[in-house]
Amino acid sequence: MKRFLPFLILIISITSCKNETKQELEEDTELKELFGLMQGSFNSDIQSQVDSSYYNISLHMYPIWEDKGNFLYVEQALTSMQNKPYRQRIYEIKRATDSTFSSAVYNLNVDSLWIGMWKTPKAFDSISINDIALKEGCEVILKRIAPNHFIGKTGDDTCVSTMRGASFARSEVEILEDKIMSWDRGFDADGNYVWGAEKGAYIFNKLD
């Protein structure tokens, strides 16, 4: 019996490694799925035509630093004023746990230098992650609830925001194959609504 013990240990070890490798591949596939869904150009034109309380906003998200991880340059603007975006960020998409993913948010040092650079993402090769600043507490934690369907949100009061008298911002996100729904709102120190869409999320339909 003793002569078979090392052989049995080897079989168990090989099987365990195969299972771990399979799990890692499955996890990597889900991360790639999420990262792929977030890429492209979107706008809220359809929603703005149905409900005038929503603006027609353009959203562009394109991969940068492709050899360094899953990074996206993100630019938002009124569709009629795309040369004057009101939000420019870099997102880093990673696995947070075995069942969740995180989208960390970074500020660029000089926003104006990067307007429209979603068209030429290779331009970001001239800077590195050391040239951007993490927005602590503003990461969105996402969960995959079905193929090509992720839902997530920030912490309730972890993302500091001083815009229009707010103390913190809260974001809720839903990502599907043909659209991204995003509800960003600001609240004061007492939890009172200060800014953002009142009725619900903006619906950004994918254009490409």
The full set of domains in the chain, from first to last, is 19-206 (2.40.128.590)
Q: How much is the pLDDT for 27?
A: 53
**Cβ neighbour number for residue 37 with a 10 Å cutoff:** 19
pLDDT for res 28: 87
Secondary structure string (H, E, C) spanning 116-179? CHHHCHHHHHHCCHHHEEECCCCCEEEEEEECCEEEEECCCCCEECCHHHCCEEEEEEEEECCE
Cα separation values, 83 from 44, 115, 192, 202, Å: 17, 7, 33, 21
pTM of the shown model:
0.86
- What's the confidence (pLDDT) of residue 208? 74
Low-confidence ranges of the chain (pLDDT < 50): 4-22, 25
What pLDDT was estimated at residue 52? 96
